[in-house]
């Protein structure tokens, strides 16, 4: 994994250069460009094809009556985006935002949202050979949000399925 130190702008700039990647399965590609994020002590990946921008956490406007997974909205470059607490979507406990917390703007089809994550680690290319099936023993409530898993730099990385996150959020609201 590239151990570059990135500013938020640097990650966003690198992300924008990888937007041309297709949504092909990792096994069908030589390598797969992903944004590595941290939630609690777990590492997840988002396909760079879904990532539009990484921004520092900032206060958002609460939405009365919204479920806890959608705690509010934020204006980003003139567009109102729902904030999605990714920890709650994955069944983790809520956590206070820290200096490392980030809002990762993602897009799936015509849905754009800001995912609240504990930290952004890196934008990297992972070899397709590192990807494998989701372990069958994994909690089905969490496994439904994973496309595949990989072992990368001595840690397990789970590739999130942004389409499934969008579908479940539609069902929950």
DSSP labels, 41-82: TEEEEEETTTEEEEEE----EE-TT--TTS-EEEEETTEEEE
pLDDT band at 1 (very low <50, low <70, confident <90, very high): very low
Tens digits of per-residue pLDDT, 3-30?
333 334 434 333 333 333 445 554 466 8
Q: How confident is residue 151, by pLDDT bands cut at 50, 70 and 90?
A: confident
Residue 149 has pLDDT above 90, yes or no: yes
- Of residues 50 and 1, more confidence is placed in 50
User: What domains are defined for the chain?
Assistant: 8-172 (2.40.50.180)
Give the pairing type, strands 146-152 and 155-160.
antiparallel
- As given in the structure block, the two tokens for residue 150 are 């990989």
- Count Cβ atoms within 10 A of the Cβ of residue 2 and give its class: 0-12 exposed, 13-18 middle, 19 or more buried: exposed
The span from the CA of 120 to the CA of 124, in Å, is 12
- pTM, 2 dp: 0.82
């Amino acid at each position: 994994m590239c151990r570059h130190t990135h500013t938020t702008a640097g990650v966003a700039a690198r992300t924008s250069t990888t937007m041309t990647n297709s949504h092909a399965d990792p096994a069908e590609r030589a390598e797969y460009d992903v944004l590595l994020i941290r939630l609690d002590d777990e590492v997840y990946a988002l396909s760079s094809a879904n990532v539009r921008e990484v921004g520092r956490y900032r206060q958002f406007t609460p939405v009365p009556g919204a479920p806890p997974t959608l705690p509010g909205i934020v204006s980003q470059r003139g567009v109102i985006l729902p904030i999605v607490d990714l920890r709650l979507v994955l069944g983790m406990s809520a956590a206070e935002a820290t200096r490392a917390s980030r809002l990762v703007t993602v897009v799936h089809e015509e849905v754009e949202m800001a995912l609240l994550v504990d930290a952004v680690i890196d934008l990297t290319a992972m070899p397709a050979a590192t990807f494998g099936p989701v372990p069958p023993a994994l909690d089905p409530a969490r496994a439904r949000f994973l496309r595949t898993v990989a072992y990368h730099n001595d840690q397990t990385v789970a590739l999130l399925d942004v389409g499934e996150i969008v579908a479940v959020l539609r069902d929950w609201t």
